[in-house]
Amino acid sequence: MGTPFSKLLELAGGLKEGRTLKAVIPGGSSTPLLSADTAMNMTMDYDSIANAGSMLGAGSVIIMDDTTCMVKTLTRLAHFYYDESCGQCTPCREGTGWLYRVLQRILDGNGKNEDLDLLVSVGEKISGNTICALGDAAATPVESFIRHFRHEFEYYIKHGRSIVESEHHLIEEEAIV
C-alpha cells in the first residue's frame, strides 16, 4: 500500500525486453482500465487510484504491453462475466450475454460502428440495476476500454482484424526484408 506503481512494476520484473507499457487495470478486471501514463504517475493506494479514475478493488493488478489487443482482451473479460452470471436478475443475465455476443461479433469480422455505442449503453443499463456486484463488475471495464482504445475497436470493425497484430506483422515483415 502506497508503493508507486512504477516501483511495483519494477519489483515484479518489469516488462519484457523491447516492450512498452500500454495499459493497466489496477484492481482486478472489474475496475476501470488506466492509460500507461496515468498508471506510471500513481501510487498503489485508494486515493491515488481513485484520483487516477479507477479503484484498488481486489488489488490484482493486470499489466498490458503494446502487444495486447484490447478488443480480444475485453471480449475475454466479457466472456468471464457472462459465464459467471448466475442468471437471477435480468440486467446481468441478459446484459452480460449481450456484451459478450456483440464483442464476439466484432471479433468474427461482423461488427458495426454502432456496436461501440451499443456496448456502452448495455453496460450503463446493467450498472446499479443488479442484486449483487457482479453486474457492475461486468459493465465497468467496457466503458473504459472503449474510451481509451476506441480506435482499436474501430479498426477491428473496419478491417476484421486486430490493429496490434497488423502492426506487429508489418514490423516482422520489415525485419525479414
The CA-based angle 49-11-74, given to 5 degrees, is 50
Q: Which of 86, 109, 150, 167 binds ligand SF4 (CB under 6 A)?
A: 86
123 touches ligand SF4 by CB under 6 A: no
How long a stretch of residues is the chain?
A: 177
CA distance 60 to 80: 16
Minimum distance of ligand SF4 from residue 3's CB (angstroms): 32
Q: From residue 41 to residue 80, what is the string marking binding to ligand SF4 with x (rule CB under 6 A)? A: ----------------------------------------
Radius of gyration of the chain (CA): 17
Residue 47 CA: distances (Å) to CA of 42, 50, 115:
9, 5, 34
Residue type, 54: S
Question: Is residue 85 at the binding interface for ligand SF4, with CB under 6 A as the rule?
Answer: yes
Q: Which part of the chain contacts ligand SF4 (CB under 6 A), choosing from 4-12, 68-76, 87-95, 139-147?
A: 87-95
Q: How far is CA 5 from CA 10, 14, 37, 68, 147, in A?
A: 9, 11, 11, 19, 22
Q: Rule CB under 6 A: is residue 12 a binding residue for ligand SF4?
A: no
**Contact status: 134 vs ligand SF4 (CB under 6 A):** yes
Give the residue nearest to ligand SF4 (CB).
92
Q: Does residue 131 touch ligand SF4 according to CB under 6 A?
A: yes
Residues that bind ligand SF4 (CB under 6 A): 85-89, 92-93, 130-132, 134-135
